[in-house]
Amino acid sequence: MIERTLFTPEHDMFRDTVRKFIEKEIAPYHDQWEKDGVVPRELWLKAGEAGLLCCTIAEEYGGSGADYLYDVIVFEELFRSGFSGPGFLIHADLVATYINSFGTEEQKRKFLPKMVSGEWVGSLGMTEPHAGSDLKAIRTRAVRDGNDYVINGQKVFISNGQLCDVLVLATKTDSDAGAKGITLFLVEGGMEGFKRGSNLEKLGMKAQDTSELFFEDVRVPATNMLGEEGQGFYLMMQKLAQERLAQAIRSATVTETVIEWTLEYTNQREAFGKTIGDFQNTQFKLAELQAEAVVGRVYTDKCIELFMQDKLDAVDAAIAKMQLSNLHCKAVDECLQLFGGWGYIWEYPICRAYADARIVKIAGGSIEVMKTIIARDMLKRLR
């Protein structure tokens, strides 16, 4: 196996802290959270107290000012555990990053300390019933009225939607301007007219709340605009590579994890007088997955390195997202098959991993969108 050289002994110590937090504060309760369809707010406060939220945020805004690898460690250990309920990635890697990168000083001081502490939960409001990957097609409107904007519209499939206290919301401020008519706002959970719909029942990730959100004449101060009017699409495009990298990190980690589970299981389970792991079919299946997982991990780690150098472009991120998402889904499918009937039983982690996996071909941009990005880049070389 190729050694991962990105991480220092200090990173390894932090990883141990994250693992202990998961064992103590998440593992004993996650089954109940799956039934509830939501993670309690107390967990967010405990995670904040333990220093697991928004690790890269500067000390002046309540964070530790750590490098991006600390956030990566939190995400990897959550993915490795198989507990998909806590929406820490969206909170830290997307919402806090948007505010930290594009917010005013006033916005940073207002929102970031509460996000670092876990007092406020962050969510990203982009997808609508008629606009998923095509963000230019959103219909949620924001109309200027004095010192406020009045927002009307609807969002769907919003992770952390039931809990969120701050929402980075994509709106149209000019319906005729296409991408140049999109503006982002920071909408606060208690604002009048901001209503949460049902907590959607999903195929997987059952403990993570996912909601419809409705906006009925929500008055948002102009000071809550993120960036400038009409800049929203440009700002979102700047962060898509980071979002897709996070999806690749998730898929690389889950792929490695389910291979480990399956290797252990097949070398214990017996059939026809020997272990399942003794059959050549089992060995070949796991060997193929292991080889693909190693290649995927090396590429993902290279993308992490490029991102930390501010060199990760949209095409490299799309390649990572596409390849690792496909591998993720392949791995959980083939590994579940080696578990036989027990793989179809919910109490087995491989069953949960299978159900949780399908979203990775959709979230952060569909596989088809990734192919389009890659193909366009290839065609550019011919011109």
Minimal CA–CA distance to 302: which of 320, 328, 314? 320
Report d(CA 151, CA 304) in Å as an integer: 37
Q: Tell me whether residue 243 is one of the annotated catalytic residues.
A: yes
Identify whether the C-beta of residue 245 lies closer than 8 Å to the C-beta of residue 370. no
Residue 94, Cβ neighbours under 10 Å: how many? 23
Identify whether the C-beta of residue 265 lies closer than 8 Å to the C-beta of residue 340. no
Ranges assigned E (strand) in 28-139: 122-125
Task: Report CA dihedral (36, 362, 257, 93) to the nearest 10 degrees.
Answer: -80
Ranges assigned E (strand) in 180-337: 182-188, 194-199, 210-221, 225-226, 270-271, 274-275
Residue 22 carries which side chain, given as an amino acid letter?
A: I
228: left (phi over 0), alpha (psi -120 to 50) or beta: beta
The DSSP result for 76-101, as a single string, is HHHHHHT-----HHIIIIIIIHHHHH
**CA of 62: how far to CAs of 57, 65, 262, in Å?**
7, 9, 41
The distance from CA 81 to its chain's CA centroid, rounded to whole angstroms, is 15
Pick the catalytic residue from 76, 243, 256, 292: 243
- Name the residues annotated as catalytic: 243
